């Protein structure tokens, strides 16, 4: 690893000397409205010289000699243009270019293959939440789990808690990242990776659906990548101040909360920066009848902090270094304790009392990323190096299942390097493409201990070395073929430990655990593949097909903490390789945008929880999941639009392992993995230029796949889910060029309902209602 760091300054020196005498064209590509246009193509017609603008629309084109050139600028969804410029020797010429829309806008994605490309170039299902979408959803609810549930087809429902248990993607676990830094803790999944950053620091969210191994362990269902805010390169200082308040509408006493945020951004010469801070204090959360919700893992009475900064420096026209840091923290300090409910009869609620133990939540989540990028470092090959560090710590609620009671925590420290190279190629007039290849190095140390120091899961130290390559070939401009492979080489060290003594719920005695286990090393090696094909010439029908695999060491920590064997080597710790098959399409039919997909996901090993005498164990039978998603958006009038999406997921376990899934022994996958059908819809209206209105709907369908046991009770994951429908409202009014006011109302009709998670969970202490109508008012001042 030391040799990699030594290589960076050598590469910098070579690149600096190679470009000392070149003529340079530097500029910014913008839209008609003045917004930066990312990833436009700038080229010299008749030559192979060209460059792609960055995500801020800034480009730097370096030429071997000075002179007068005709440059061509193109971007999907915009009318191309040509312009003549004169470049002086040993000088930099600045040019601002404006492209007008042709009505066929196309978004860009970086997470699918680690290289900027349009959605038309990716043969898989992708959902992108841009800045405008995030602002609307954040105006209704600042909880990122709610935002994603309302926006991403195929993603499970929010639990209305600090965790994201049950919020799977297409029935499988998700790898959550911040700028490519993994937030998930797949060695011991605590379900707090989705809520690991505040939306105020996010520029856009990219959701890649289906099994993918391109970022490594844990992406069986896909990945969610939070792309953080970028600097505003247009002026030395700009910013936004945000002040807001929120409260329940029913029995509002003690429910008031507030937030304040500040963002500063700008650029000076070769330096650009963005700095932001956000603080939020929530009040008590209540249901539609004004009853206090259970405080366990609750969102009420919490304090949230987020501090973010990104500083970039353009070393020269082809080389850039960027440093990002984000701190997220959220802790609950409640005056309420849990009053258990009775499953399917009465809800678990909060009553006045002193909560035992430490404040619950995530005291800190630190993320640091240093990125170095170099264009044409060798020939036309581009280089990207990311060095990152994450330190995460979270605290769960007090439970009495340990001797004397206690609170468990999960800590995770990750250090990694990603080396990524991209080399374009051309074979004749009708075939071109690029090869993306590189190496990932990761060290992840994860443990689960009690706050008093007792070890529940010993520190697992994982070392991952993974080379990969991804080939994209375009035939006749419109037929795109992609294929890639990644080799996983994982070693996990586990120390000697003793399982913790806990309560056996069947006998009522503290008789579980106390087993001495000899540690050791666990090795995993696997080669995983992907391949896909997309045809994008026809605007009204752009189909794709794909096959992809993922690799994950799922929930090793849960296996260790319930170990009954004397050595780690005897435990059932085999990894999961998931296979995802998908076919889909995108269509533009005048004012109507359509997309749809059907998928099948299978694996020889599952990771489904079963409850055995009060403790969770992992069933390793084969599983098969299938489903479909469809979404539509329509511009009815210039100031009126609507949209809807529907997603359906189902999955079964091959209990007798005969390759069939319809035998009487075979069972459905539990509700903690398979979400019920989800329907979303919205209508937007702009009565005047400065005023936007939106009404949206979220419906959870019914799912009843399991019968109660002999006593008439349901066990974990098997509770039936009843349908419910929620409506939310958003209004944004621009007072002038600087000030605006947003009004959001979550659950505007004050629907009384139980969350999806509380229904399938089937436990008295977790039978919790959702929040009643809650209003959020925000004032923004931009300068």
pLDDT computed for residue 577 by the predictor: 92
* Residue finishing a domain among 74, 99, 124: 99
Distance between CA atoms of residues 655 and 222, nearest Å: 25
- ∠ CA 407-413-417, nearest 5°, is 160
pLDDT of 564-615, one tens digit each?
Answer: 888 888 877 788 899 999 999 999 999 999 999 999 999 998 766 665 555 5
* 3-state SS, residue 193: coil
**C-alpha span between 101 and 112 (Å, rounded):** 25
- Other CB atoms within 10 Å distance of the CB of residue 373: 19
Structure tokens at 557: 């920590």
Residue 147 placed within a domain: no
Is the pLDDT score of 375 beyond 60? Answer: yes
Classify burial at 133, counting beta carbons within 10 Å of its beta carbon; exposed 0-12, middle 13-18, buried 19 or more: middle
Q: How confident is the model at residue 58 (pLDDT cuts 50, 70, 90)?
A: confident
Give the pLDDT score at 12. Answer: 41
> What does DSSP assign to residue 701?
-
Per-residue confidence band for 33, with pLDDT thresholds at 50, 70 and 90:
low
Report residue 140's pLDDT band, with 50, 70 and 90 as the boundaries. Answer: very high
CB–CB of 713/675 below 8 Å?
Answer: no
In the structure, what pLDDT confidence band is assigned to residue 5 with cuts at 50, 70 and 90?
Answer: very low
Q: Any idea which residue has 């958003």 for tokens?
A: 730
pLDDT of the residue at 77 = 61
Q: Assign residue 170 a region: left if phi > 0, alpha if psi is -120 to 50, beta otherwise?
A: left
pLDDT bin (cut points 50, 70, 90) of residue 374 is very high
Residue the block writes with tokens 């050595």: 567
Give the confidence band of 48 by pLDDT, cuts at 50, 70, 90: low
Q: Look up residue 155 and give its DSSP letter.
A: B
Of 559 and 439, the one with more pLDDT: 439
Q: Is the pLDDT of residue 343 over 70?
A: yes
Looking at the domain assignment, is residue 172 inside a domain? Answer: no
What is the DSSP secondary structure assignment for residue 661, as one 8-state letter? S
CB 703 within 8 A of CB 674: yes
Angle at 273 between CA 277 and CA 265, to 5 degrees: 60
**Which of 83, 99, 115 is where one domain is finished?**
99
Give the pLDDT score at 573: 78
Give residue 61's pLDDT.
Answer: 85
Q: How far is residue 25 from each of residues 62, 66, 76, 133, measured CA to CA in Å?
A: 6, 10, 22, 34
Contact predicate 304/294, CB 8 Å: no
- For the chain, percent of residues with pLDDT exceeding 90: 74
User: Which tokens belong to 232?
Assistant: 């505003």
**What's the pLDDT band for 10 if we cut at 50, 70, 90?**
very low
**What are φ and ψ of residue 349, in 5° steps?**
-130, 180
* Strand positions, DSSP E, 553-674: 576-589, 592-603, 608-612, 615-619, 623-637, 640-653, 667-668
Q: How many domains does the chain have?
A: 2
Q: Distance between CA 66 and CA 64 in Å, rounded?
A: 7
DSSP letter, residue 195:
S
Please check whether residue 675 lies inside any domain of the structure: yes
Residue 146 belongs to a domain? no
Residue carrying structure tokens 């007072």: 735
pLDDT of res. 676? 98
How does pLDDT run across 662-687, given as a tens digit for each residue?
999 999 999 999 999 999 999 999 99
Considering 99, 121, 148, which residue would you say is the last residue of a domain? Answer: 99
Phi and psi dihedrals of 219, rounded to 5? -105, 55
Side-chain-side CA neighbours of 111 within 13 Å: the count stands at: 30
- Top pLDDT among 52 and 735 is at 735
Give the separation between CA 582 and CA 545, rounded to whole angstroms: 6
pLDDT tens figures, 263-305: 999 999 999 999 999 999 999 999 999 999 999 999 999 999 9
Q: For residue 10, give its domain range.
A: 2-99
Q: Return the number of other C-beta atoms located less than 10 Å from residue 257's C-beta.
A: 24
Q: Domain containing 276 — which CATH number?
A: 2.40.170.20
CATH number of domain containing 34: 2.60.40.10
Helices and strands (DSSP H and E) totals, the chain: 5, 45
Region 490-512: mean pLDDT is: 88
Which pLDDT score, from 0 to 100, does residue 544 have?
Answer: 98
pLDDT (mean) for 123-133: 94
> Which has more pLDDT, 343 or 92?
343
pLDDT at 612: 57
On whether both 530 and 678 belong to a single domain, the answer is yes
pLDDT of res. 17? 42
Overall residue count recorded for the chain in this entry: 783
Strands (E) across 705-763 are located at 724-734, 739-746
Q: Strand 774-782 to strand 455-475: parallel, antiparallel, or no bridges (unpaired)?
A: unpaired
Distance from C-alpha of 615 to C-alpha of 611, rounded to nearest angstrom = 6
Average pLDDT of the residues in 142-168: 96
Query: CA-based angle 429:431:436, to the nearest 5?
Result: 135
Q: Point out the least confidently predicted range of 67-71, 476-480, 706-710.
A: 67-71
Report the C-alpha gap between 166 and 183 in whole angstroms: 17
Quote the pLDDT of residue 306.
98
Domain membership of residue 54 (yes or no) is yes
Is 627 domain-assigned?
Answer: yes
d(CA 316, CA 642): 46
Determine contact, residues 694/682, Cβ cutoff 8 Å: yes
Output the pLDDT for position 7: 43
Alpha helices in 689-762 (DSSP H): 756-761
Lowest mean per-residue pLDDT among 5-19, 450-464, 732-746: 5-19
Task: Give per-residue pLDDT as tens, 222-261.
Answer: 999 999 999 887 789 999 999 999 999 999 999 999 999 9
Q: Cβ–Cβ contacts within 10 Å for residue 359, how many?
A: 16
Q: Which of 461, 456, 649, 676 minimizes the C-alpha distance to 559?
A: 456
Q: Which two tokens stand for residue 689?
A: 């230029």
Average pLDDT for residues 470-494, to the nearest whole number? Answer: 95
The average pLDDT across 757-775 equals: 97
What is the average pLDDT across 650-656? 94
Q: State what percent of residues in the chain have pLDDT above 70.
A: 94
Q: Residue 423 above 80 pLDDT?
A: yes
> Is residue 449 assigned to a domain?
yes
At residue 503, the pLDDT reads 86
Between 571 and 696, name the one with better pLDDT.
696
**Could you give the CA distance from residue 52 to residue 551 in angstroms, rounded to a whole number?**
33
Three-class SS of residue 389?
A: strand
Q: Are residues 395 and 534 in the same domain?
A: yes
Q: In this predicted structure, what is the pLDDT of residue 123?
A: 94
Give dist(CA 635, CA 685) in Å, integer: 10
Q: What are phi and psi of 460, to 5 degrees?
A: -95, 120
Q: How far apart are the first and last CA of the chain?
A: 44
């Amino acid at each position: 690893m030391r040799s990699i760091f030594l290589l960076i300054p050598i590469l910098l020196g070579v690149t600096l000397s190679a470009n000392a005498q070149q003529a340079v064209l530097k500029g910014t590509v913008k839209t008609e409205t003045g917004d930066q246009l990312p990833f436009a193509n700038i080229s010299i017609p008749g030559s192979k010289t060209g460059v792609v603008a960055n995500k801020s629309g800034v480009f730097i084109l370096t030429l071997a000699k000075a002179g007068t050139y005709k440059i061509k600028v193109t971007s999907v969804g915009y009318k191309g243009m040509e312009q003549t410029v004169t470049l002086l020797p040993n000088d930099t010429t600045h040019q601002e270019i404006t492209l007008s829309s042709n009505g066929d806008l196309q978004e860009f994605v970086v997470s699918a293959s680690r290289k900027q490309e349009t959605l038309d170039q990716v043969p898989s299902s992708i959902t992108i939440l841009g800045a405008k979408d995030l602002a609307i959803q954040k105006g209704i609810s600042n909880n990122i789990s709610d935002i994603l549930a309302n926006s991403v087809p195929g993603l499970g429902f929010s639990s209305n808690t600090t965790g994201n248990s049950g919020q799977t993607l297409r029935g499988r676990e998700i790898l959550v990242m911040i700028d490519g830094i993994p937030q998930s803790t797949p060695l011991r999944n605590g379900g707090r990776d989705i809520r690991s950053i505040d939306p105020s620091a996010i520029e856009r969210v990219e959701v890649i659906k289906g099994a993918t191994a391109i970022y490594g362990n844990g992406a069986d269902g896909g990945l969610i990548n939070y792309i953080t805010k970028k600097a505003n390169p247009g002026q030395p200082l700009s910013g936004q101040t945000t002040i807001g308040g929120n409260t329940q509408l029913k029995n509002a006493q003690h429910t008031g909360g507030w937030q304040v945020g500040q963002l500063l951004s700008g650029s000076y010469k070769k330096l650009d920066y963005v700095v932001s801070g956000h603080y939020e204090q929530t009040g008590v959360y209540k249901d539609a009848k004004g009853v206090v919700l259970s405080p366990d893992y609750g969102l009420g009475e919490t304090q949230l902090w987020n501090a973010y900064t990104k500083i970039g420096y353009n070393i020269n026209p082809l080389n850039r270094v960027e440093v990002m840091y984000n701190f997220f923290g959220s802790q609950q300090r409640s005056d309420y304790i849990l009053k258990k409910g009775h499953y399917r009869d009465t809800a678990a609620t909060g009553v006045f009392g002193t909560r035992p133990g430490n404040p619950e939540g995530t005291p800190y989540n630190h993320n640091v990323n240093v990125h170095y990028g170099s264009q044409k470092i060798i020939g036309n090959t581009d280089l990207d190096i990311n060095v990152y560090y994450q330190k995460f710590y979270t605290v769960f609620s007090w439970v009495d299942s340990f001797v004397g009671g206690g609170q468990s925590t999960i800590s995770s420290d990750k250090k990694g390097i990603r080396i990524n190279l991209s080399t374009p190629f051309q074979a004749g007039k009708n075939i071109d493409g690029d090869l993306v290849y590189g190496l990932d190095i990761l060290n992840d140390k994860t443990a689960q201990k009690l706050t008093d120091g007792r070890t529940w899961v010993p520190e697992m130290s994982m070392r991952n070395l993974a080379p990969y390559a991804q080939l994209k070939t375009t035939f006749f401009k419109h037929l795109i073929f992609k294929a890639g492979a990644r080799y996983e080489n994982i070693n996990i060290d586990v120390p000697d430990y003793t399982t913790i003594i806990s309560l056996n719920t069947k006998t009522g005695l503290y008789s579980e655990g106390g087993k001495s286990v000899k540690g050791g090393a666990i090795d995993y090696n696997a080669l995983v593949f992907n391949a896909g094909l997309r045809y994008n010439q026809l605007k009204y029908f752009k189909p794709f097909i794909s096959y992809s695999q993922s690799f994950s060491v799922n929930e090793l920590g849960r296996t260790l903490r319930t170990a009954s064997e004397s050595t780690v080597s005897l435990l059932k710790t085999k990894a999961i390789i998931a296979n995802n098959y998908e076919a889909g399409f995108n269509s533009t039919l005048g004012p109507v945008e359509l997309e749809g997909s059907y998928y099948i996901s299978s694996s020889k090993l599952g990771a489904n929880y079963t409850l055995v005498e009060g403790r969770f164990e992992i069933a390793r039978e084969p599983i098969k999941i299938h489903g479909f998603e469809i979404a539509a958006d329509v511009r009815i009038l210039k100031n009126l639009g609507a949209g809807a999406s529907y997603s359906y997921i189902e999955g079964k376990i091959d209990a007798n392992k005969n390759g069939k899934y319809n035998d009487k022994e075979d069972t459905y996958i539990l509700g903690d993995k398979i979400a019920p059908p989800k329907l979303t819809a919205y209508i937007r209206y702009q009565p005047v230029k400065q005023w936007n209105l939106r009404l949206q709907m979220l419906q959870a369908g019914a799912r009843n796949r399991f019968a109660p046991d002999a006593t008439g009770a349901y066990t974990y994951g098997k509770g039936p889910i009843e349908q419910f429908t929620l409506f939310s409202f958003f209004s944004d009014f621009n007072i002038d060029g600087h000030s605006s006011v947003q009004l959001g109302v979550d659950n505007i009709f004050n629907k009384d309902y139980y969350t999806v998670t509380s229904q399938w969970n089937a436990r008295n202490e977790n039978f919790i209602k959702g929040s009643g109508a809650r209003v959020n008012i925000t004032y923004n001042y931009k300068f």
